Amino acid sequence: MRKILGAAGVMLALTACGQQPGDTYKVYYLGGQSNMDGFGFNEDLPPELVDGVPEVLIYHGDPDTDGTEVGGEGFWRALTPGHGIGYRSTADEVTLSARFGPELSFAGALKAGAPDSKIAIIKYSRGGTGLMDGVSGYGSWDPDGYQGGGPNQLDYALTTIGDALAVADIDGDGRVDRLEPAGIVWMQGEADAYDSAEASSQYAENLAELMGIIRGALGSSDIPIVLGQIKDSGDTPETRVMAFSPEVQAQQRAFAERDPCASVVTVTEGFSFLPDGWHYQSEDYLTLGRAFADRVLALELECGP
């Protein structure tokens, strides 16, 4: 059974215990599939990001296959390189990878755009995963579960979010920190665009249901949502790696048009690919993270209280 406790409920529970108030952090959830995982090479990072963004904290849940009982485990730590593909985590130990995703430049741009804010990132993503159950062998975000039984990617994401928000003192200074969810960043859709007409045509509807659940877990029904537009390495129907990529792109736009606190980032249009034809170059992940930050900060102003 999925258990959702919003950030406000967590804060009330903690302060009721008499713990001293600490810092206020703006919290952003990063989710999706492999281009949110990130295939950028740490060795390609610019000098200002070689050591990460240590003043920003990250809780990166362990990405796991559907049907296990431990997906989403993690803990709060300073943001360093290594949170790309190949990252793994338990409740007290991480295995960093040689790759990075949009999180590094996203964090750097947020700090540049709001230097007085304290920033925290919650990340859960897994490559190859689809919104509709059955479209991918890598996992499903379907709220109705998956055909093999047991938890799926949504459950692991909710575990990540719930456990992250339940930590009283995320920076370890002995005081209760206040976590204020400020945005959702979603980079996903390739699995639904690959070869399923049904999944691609229902993408906006399925995404709206999923985002409603994640917004609920974060404790806000109108938290800004920024989508990364998917990009196909082929330019014609004959060369596309995803048969229905134009349909999912249209569905992403349709979702954003219906939600006043959602927007689509289209910088991916100019991206190039690794030889696998699916994943972006290192510099593209840097561009993507900055675009995500710029858009979510703009949406915060438009959708704020």
Instruction: At 64, give phi and psi (nearest 5°).
Output: -140, 165
Token output for 73: 């485990």
What digits encode the pLDDT tens for the residues 227-256? Answer: 999 999 998 999 999 999 999 999 999 999
**Domains and their CATH numbers in the chain:** 7-303 (3.40.50.1110)
What digits encode the pLDDT tens for the residues 6-56? Answer: 444 444 444 444 567 889 999 999 999 999 999 999 999 999 999 999 999
Give this prediction's pTM: 0.93
Of 218, 176, 170, the closest CA to residue 6 belongs to 218
Of 274, 253, 254, the closest CA to residue 264 belongs to 253
Token output for 31: 């989710």
- Inform me whether the pLDDT recorded for 1 exceeds 60: no
pLDDT for residue 69: 84
Measured CA to CA, the distance from residue 211 to residue 48 in angstroms comes to 33
Of 205, 211, 204, 253, the closest CA to residue 228 belongs to 253
Token output for 124: 């859960």
Cβ contacts of 39 within 8 Å, gap of 6 or more: 84, 85, 99, 101, 274, 279, 280, 285
Alpha carbon 50 to its chain centroid, in Å, reads: 22
Token output for 33: 């599939």
pLDDT for residue 150: 80
